[in-house]
A and B are shown apart, each in its own frame.
Chain A
């Protein structure tokens, strides 16, 4: 059956760079371990399984440079291996504990399968999960994008040099990692502003994404709403996020993830288990915290956690199938309505954080697989497309000047600029301004090895200080002290290193320690921050 429209899934995978090689166990590194086991491994498995069956997934995945660096970090890979091993050991004990409780046993078995799958995939790729993603892209099954170097919200970087550096470092990092140039760019937090068009184009990117209300607020009316791509005046391709398909998946209250049959995120063995029993898995401080083993279902979203009932994997899977069917039915209605009104086949662009699938919404990877599989099996008149193939096959997109926007709460920049986190900006700008000033001063000088290393490390620290994650963590009040410390440390490291270069009093030992810890972007050259960059 001929396609009545196209569907584009963009999964944005990002974590802040958390690497503490001096510690054998570091709490915030568990974000990475959990995301690998609960999201990245299941998603890679889904994509590989579909591709292996001849069902092309055709999804776009943006992988942030910080996440990419963690996925290739051998020290983190080793810790990840220990984490998975430790959970499998606990799950072995859990299988024994649950053997006479059939309702619990099925879920414990499910977790055992999840962690075994992670161990198997990590073993298969020698711990490097970039390899299967690269292979999937090379085989034309998916398209991989990048985002800004450290996930800075670009409209909040007032200095053009800082924006250019975030883009240039991201482009170079992508080329090094995936052996090709990136075609597309995911704006962190989908935060768009018109001045970014020229920077993105000059950095070699062909397209990006913006929120639906960016299109609604466009100076010239968008003729097809969010249902077609556009191009900016300088030829940058622009896809608009469809709110309806996003809301059905994103909302834990009104969307699919809130279904009573789905797994409850906030009830965890780390809090439920006998203290002495779970103590060896809690971390060195012994404080109860989530272990990632969650045996209950949402039951009733308003219910107290203690009132939650056991998870039933079969019941959850049945809901996944129903939700996939509902999702596609709604998309078909969207395409039919648009075709009836405009006589053209629409493109529906659905963008999500990848970590929603599996980590937050446990059943998310199964949902994704069911949606892709169902289009094929039921011969639905929808096709999955990646951004580049759509742009290569569609008519010349109409020109549009979209408005400033983001996908954050309230649609603009409130989550990253408010009274819980606005105090960070003087530190971010202190590092950024000093970095630009020093890059300009030294950009044409032949520097000794130590000074060059120090300036390059200052550039890394500056980029890390600009990450959106610190402001967001402060806003939600989660790991706030860590976020504040990281932000202040990166800014202070940058300012100190730059001062030491200028005053010719570098401490090589301290520099080497920073290089070991904040060791992403190995080819970074500080001149990327210069006002007239050589890049």
Chain B
């Protein structure tokens, strides 16, 4: 999987973006202090991404991820609408909220895919085995 080759400023960040009607994309970063806490095992290596509905803040779903993976694709909760994510880490058996994301809405699925006319990929033949 391709990665950035230049280091980013170590900052706490959790961003939620729409991808398609069924999927959100989320990425996160930690400040140097937080990363150190993971590296020294103060925090357990797995974080939990908890999705909530923004309108009433009710819990929708939770997903586990490795803390250093930095990104994940999350299924859009059943009710859809505006959602937000909070990242939790486990310390001494207690889940701590470390980061909160922006609000994002997933698109509503509409129309039959066969009826759509994409600005076509057909003219851009994918380069097989293209490397970054």
Binding site for B on A (CB under 8 A): 155-156, 158-159, 189-190, 193, 211-214, 216-217, 241, 243-244, 246-247, 250-253, 257, 265-266, 352-353, 356, 360, 403-405, 407-415, 417-427, 429-430, 433-434, 474, 476-478, 480-481, 484, 488, 491-492, 495
A295 CA / B117 CA spacing, docked (Å):
29
**Residue of B15, B120, B126 contacting most chain A CB atoms (<10 Å):** B120
Q: How far is the CB of B26 from chain A (nearest CB, A)?
A: 10
**Residue of B11, B71, B113, B124 contacting most chain A CB atoms (<10 Å):** B124
Q: Given A253-B122, A265-B123, A412-B21, is A405 in contact with B107 using a C-beta cutoff of 8 Å? A: yes
Please pick, from A216, A407, A417, A420, the residue contacting B19 in the complex, using a CB distance under 8 A.
A417
B17 at the interface (CB under 8 A from A): yes
Q: How far is the CB of B98 from chain A (nearest CB, A)?
A: 16
Question: Within residues 83 to 132 of chain B, which ones have a CB less than 8 A from any CB in chain A?
Answer: 102, 104-111, 113, 115-132
Q: Is the CB of B19 within 8 A of A404?
A: no
A430 CA / B17 CA spacing, docked (Å):
15
A-side contacts of B131, CB under 8 Å: 480-481
Binding site for A on B (CB under 8 A): 1-6, 8-9, 11, 13, 15-21, 25, 27, 29, 70-71, 102, 104-111, 113, 115-132
Please pick, from B3, B8, B126, the residue contacting A477 in the complex, using a CB distance under 8 A.
B126
A-side contacts of B105, CB under 8 Å: 193, 404
Please pick, from B2, B108, B113, the residue contacting A474 in the complex, using a CB distance under 8 A.
B2
A-side contacts of B19, CB under 8 Å: 412-414, 417-418
Q: Is the CB of B113 within 8 A of A484?
A: no
Q: Is the CB of B27 within 8 A of A426?
A: yes
B-side contacts of A430, CB under 8 Å: 8-9, 11, 13
Q: Is the CB of A412 within 8 A of B115?
A: no
Q: Given A477-B128, A484-B132, is A212 in contact with B111 using a C-beta cutoff of 8 Å? A: yes
Q: Is the CB of A250 within 8 A of B117?
A: yes
What are 19 A-B residue pairs whose CB atoms fall within 8 Å in the complex?
A158-B15, A158-B104, A217-B107, A217-B108, A250-B119, A356-B123, A404-B18, A404-B106, A404-B107, A412-B107, A413-B19, A421-B2, A425-B15, A426-B29, A429-B13, A478-B127, A481-B131, A488-B6, A492-B6
- Give chain A's interface secondary structure class: helix
A177 CA / B22 CA spacing, docked (Å):
41
- Give chain B's interface secondary structure class: loop
Nearest residue in B to A402 (C-beta to C-beta)? B110
Q: Is the CB of B18 within 8 A of A427?
A: no
A265 CA / B122 CA spacing, docked (Å):
12
A57 CA / B108 CA spacing, docked (Å):
37
A476 CA / B130 CA spacing, docked (Å):
8
B-side contacts of A403, CB under 8 Å: 107-108, 110
Q: Is the CB of B8 within 8 A of A480?
A: no
A-side contacts of B13, CB under 8 Å: 426, 429-430, 433
A491 CA / B124 CA spacing, docked (Å):
26
A474 CA / B17 CA spacing, docked (Å):
18
A434 CA / B13 CA spacing, docked (Å):
12
Nearest residue in B to A214 (C-beta to C-beta)? B110
A-side contacts of B106, CB under 8 Å: 404
Q: Given A158-B102, A217-B110, is A411 in contact with B124 using a C-beta cutoff of 8 Å? A: no
B-side contacts of A266, CB under 8 Å: 125
A525 CA / B131 CA spacing, docked (Å):
37
Q: How far is the CB of A227 from chain B (nearest CB, A)?
A: 15
Please pick, from B113, B118, B126, the residue contacting A407 in the complex, using a CB distance under 8 A.
B118
**Residue of A189, A244, A480 contacting most chain B CB atoms (<10 Å):** A480
Q: Is the CB of B17 within 8 A of A247?
A: no
B-side contacts of A492, CB under 8 Å: 6
Q: Is the CB of A247 within 8 A of B117?
A: yes
Q: Is the CB of B17 within 8 A of A158?
A: yes
A-side contacts of B108, CB under 8 Å: 217, 403-404
Given contacts A217-B111, A252-B123, 7 further A-B contacts (CB under 8 A): A212-B117, A404-B18, A407-B117, A408-B118, A413-B18, A429-B13, A477-B128
Q: Given A158-B102, A422-B27, A426-B4, is A409 in contact with B118 using a C-beta cutoff of 8 Å? A: yes
Q: How far is the CB of B53 from chain A (nearest CB, A)?
A: 17
A292 CA / B104 CA spacing, docked (Å):
43
Please pick, from B11, B16, B122, B129, the residue contacting A252 in the complex, using a CB distance under 8 A.
B122
B-side contacts of A217, CB under 8 Å: 107-111
Q: Is the CB of B71 within 8 A of A422?
A: yes
Q: Is the CB of A477 within 8 A of B4?
A: no
Q: Is the CB of B123 within 8 A of A417?
A: no
Q: Is the CB of A422 within 8 A of B25?
A: yes
Q: How far is the CB of B128 from chain A (nearest CB, A)?
A: 7
Q: Is the CB of A420 within 8 A of B8?
A: no
A409 CA / B124 CA spacing, docked (Å):
12
A156 CA / B104 CA spacing, docked (Å):
10
Please pick, from A213, A480, A491, the residue contacting B132 in the complex, using a CB distance under 8 A.
A480
**Residue of A190, A252, A410, A412 contacting most chain B CB atoms (<10 Å):** A412
Please pick, from A158, A241, A247, A413, the residue contacting B20 in the complex, using a CB distance under 8 A.
A413
Please pick, from A155, A243, A423, A478, the residue contacting B2 in the complex, using a CB distance under 8 A.
A423
B-side contacts of A247, CB under 8 Å: 117
A241 CA / B25 CA spacing, docked (Å):
27
Q: How far is the CB of A500 from chain B (nearest CB, A)?
A: 13
Q: How far is the CB of A130 from chain B (nearest CB, A)?
A: 24
B-side contacts of A241, CB under 8 Å: 117
Q: How far is the CB of A425 from chain B (nearest CB, A)?
A: 6
Nearest residue in B to A403 (C-beta to C-beta)? B108
B-side contacts of A429, CB under 8 Å: 13, 15, 27
A-side contacts of B128, CB under 8 Å: 477
A495 CA / B105 CA spacing, docked (Å):
29
A189 CA / B118 CA spacing, docked (Å):
10
Q: Is the CB of B3 within 8 A of A423?
A: yes
**Residue of A407, A425, A434 contacting most chain B CB atoms (<10 Å):** A425
Interface pairs A-B: 6 shortest CB-CB: A477-B130, A217-B110, A477-B127, A247-B117, A213-B111, A404-B107
A356 CA / B123 CA spacing, docked (Å):
9
Q: How far is the CB of B31 from chain A (nearest CB, A)?
A: 13
Nearest residue in B to A429 (C-beta to C-beta)? B15
